[in-house]
Amino acid sequence: MCSVLTHPAVPLALSAFLPRGAASPALLLAGLACSVVPDLDVIGFGFGVSYGDMLGHRGLTHSVLFAAALAALLGLTLFRDAASGGGPVFLFLFLSTLSHPLLDMLTNGGLGVALLAPFSNERYFFPWRPIEVSPIGVSSFLSAWGVRVILSELRWVWLPSAGAYALGYFARRLW
């Protein structure tokens, strides 16, 4: 997985593309939260859920269906007024959530991502996997491995996200 520090890079970049009427600090915070929520599945380890199970790590919470359900739930409850104006809020929350498993599919470790759960527990990776997989646990992260992860994430996630944000920022100024 990418580290919890990096998953929010995508919603930050996407926020530059939000229409002025839809953008708000609350929506940005929700997008940042959506980008890390899928990893709450690690709680299952403490209850005996195996990594490769449907409810295991990178299982159901890393699926397209979960991203859509979470975006719809948040849109209809927290952002009802903004959501009634069209799809930008749903799309932002959906893409913020979906960015998590897509980034995980670019990592070089783990069992893959159950992108099509609950219909299939097959695990997927992209053919090109340049991002160093992050260790689970703080002590492992504070090591040479953790440094390699951060450098990899800066190169493959943060720099492209900064470029996308700049593009969206300048495009919005032109509109």
Binned at pLDDT 50, 70 and 90, residue 1 comes out as: low
Binned at pLDDT 50, 70 and 90, residue 113 comes out as: very high
- CB of 62 closer than 8 Å to CB of 114: yes
Answer yes or no: is pLDDT of 138 > 80: no
High-pLDDT (> 70) share of the chain, %? 92
Please tell me the total count of domains within the chain. 1
The answer to whether residue 2 sits within a structural domain is: no
108-to-32, 49, 94, 134, 161 alpha-carbon distances in Å: 24, 23, 25, 9, 20
The answer to whether residue 17 sits within a structural domain is: yes
The answer to whether residue 67 sits within a structural domain is: yes
The answer to whether residue 166 sits within a structural domain is: yes
What average pLDDT does the segment 13-22 reach? 91
- CB of 135 closer than 8 Å to CB of 107: no
pLDDT for 5 equals 84
Q: How many residues can be counted in the chain?
A: 175
What average pLDDT does the segment 62-86 reach? 86
pLDDT for 90 equals 94
165-to-5, 15, 22, 74 alpha-carbon distances in Å: 17, 8, 16, 23
Among 82-91, 112-121, 143-152, top mean pLDDT goes to 112-121
3-state secondary structure the chain: CCCCCCCCHHHHHHHCCCCCCCCCHHHHHHHHHHHHHHHHHHHHHHHCCCCCCCCCCCCHHHCHHHHHHHHHHHHHHCCHHHHCCCCHHHHHHHHHHHHHHHHHCCECCCCCECCCCCCCCCCECCCCCCECCCCCCHHHHCCHHHHHHHHHHHHHHHHHHHHHHHHHHHHHHHC
The answer to whether residue 161 sits within a structural domain is: yes
The answer to whether residue 4 sits within a structural domain is: no
**86 lies in which domain range?**
9-174
The answer to whether residue 1 sits within a structural domain is: no
